[in-house]
Structure 1
Amino acid sequence: MAPEGYMVGVKGNEDLNRVFARAMPVPRGLFALRYLGADDERNPPRISVHVGPDVTGDVQLLFAPGSEDGVMRRPGDAVVVSSSGDAIIVVTIFVGEFALSDGVKLKIDQLDKVSGRDGELVRASSGQKKKSQDSSEEMPIYLSGHIQRRGDVSLPAGEWLGGRSSRQHIEGFAVHWPRRPMGVDIEYDCSVAGQGRMPEALTGGFVGTRARALSIEGVSLRLIGENAASYKLQAEAIFSDGSAVRSSALELVAAPRDPGASLVGLTVHVQKAAVESVKASATQVSETSVGGSVDHQLADSVPEMKDAGARNGVGLRSERVRVFRGARSFANRHAAE
């Protein structure tokens, strides 16, 4: 039986002060070892892959173009393993100094046969009635952030950060999209009292402040990417003066009625757009891009997607991911982002 996947724990930055190694048995066949994700998205560990000792048969490792020294440096990287017999590959995880967690997800899939999961999908698709074109599929989006007098919070998918009746202002937040499809992302930023507009972030990035008693006075979120028109943004921001601002299909730009009012509630949902609404959404993107009145043009935003840790390789289908972690836990210095 081919191994189905592994998750390995680590902690990552430039100073490498911890190393973990895991042996993965590989039978005869063609496999893809994928770096699916890291618990600490800001500091993903680096992972090297080598052939183990006493290997029977020829084993070849093929890394992506541009990979240096056989190292997977961020989620989305992968290596193809070709083995002519039973073998062992050794996965070494290099951990840096400033990580929040030692979790890394790796998945190995056999490429030269149809998996049980693939077979189920084929049978299901052949026997399933075509879904109605106006149906929408909601994506799992969840929020984390820092709230006045509550500190760091992380919420289940679909729940409000703060809320309509909250009296504590939100000081900073992050948007998480764990199974984000390729070609679409959420870009967001905020304006902080006394600090002005903060730099933009993509999903997983934190905007705002922590534990500085500074409130958010404005917030914006937008869908970006070549497939953005295939999705609908459903977001709402609530401010301490009672004003509520809801998003359009692709963007939320929210500010309170009263100057100085602070953000106290935020919710973000994304749905797969109905087929008939995709053309209208695409028209909206075109009008926004050529109008020149929006600060963040779609064409300028898309290239930034490649810079974030979990930008590439999201949307991967996996049958099962096993979990391994290091023996030592890490202090939660910041909110999980």
Structure 2
Amino acid sequence: MTSPNQGLNSLPLRNKKEACWVQSPELEGLKISSRVTLLEPGMYIFRYASQPPADRPVCIALQQAPLGKGAIDFFPAEGVSKNMLTRLGDTIVARVKGGTTTVLITEYHMFDAVIDPIDLRIDRIDTSPAIMRNFAIVATAEPSAAISSSPTPVALKLVAHLQGEGDVVSTEGWAGELDGTRRLEGFSVLWGEKPAGVDLVYTTTVAGSGPSPNVATGAFTGTRGKSLPLVSAGFSLVGPDRHFYELSGHLVFRGAAPQVIVANQMMYGPTGKEPLVALHICIAPATKMNAARYKSPWENSALTQKISSTGQKA
């Protein structure tokens, strides 16, 4: 007589798609992790953007969480059932209406082993004038003695928890060392005099766990005092006026070249396990769509970082 666990392991991948909805203490090795993400009214695309080993399937289920005043409708693509993503390319389109709402994202790991983090891409469908091919933001010219060659970045302060140092505070929007080995274990971004209609949202993945919930400027993501590295991070601009700003920056994972931040995308090292050792984030008013990105701040070696007296050591 086969045990419930043996029966599950004998299922083909297609049937495991249904089985992963079973939550039972008898399923040895089953791991479940959940997080909640906040969505404003609009249209969104959820995509399964990873390819785990065939013998180690990871199912991602979506459902509305009981928070917020809005409602959400899910429209699964061909091959997707019960709002559950199971393989690379699985897609669900969602419509948020009636106000801000929250989505509960639940991962089901059908095995007792560690694999690279699963990437769930969440992209908002743009319906603003910015989708027009000839769209550009035109500002009224003001008299000045000289014409600036690039827009002035907004004032950001980055507070990062650095291994062995505690909280590192920088008003230049960067922390860590390009060729460093000390890992960043958490951070928060402060946006002074932030205008209405736009905000920065970010998330991270701590080694050994799934992605953390999205948080907005001023909130901390990651850990303090637990000696746990960050192995991924993602950044997005949100709000009706987000198209009037440009997000740029770099992430550096130990032993790897700096990566340019791509908005609305989780960024990892080459294997997904390298710890984050340096971070730069910049937001500037957009002069036109597809404006050139800023040069890497690592070219300026004169920038210094301040160690907070209130920081906790890793």
TM bracket, shorter-chain basis: 0.3 to 0.5
TM (normalized to structure 1)? 0.42
TM (normalized to structure 2)? 0.45
Which has a greater percent of helix?
A: 1
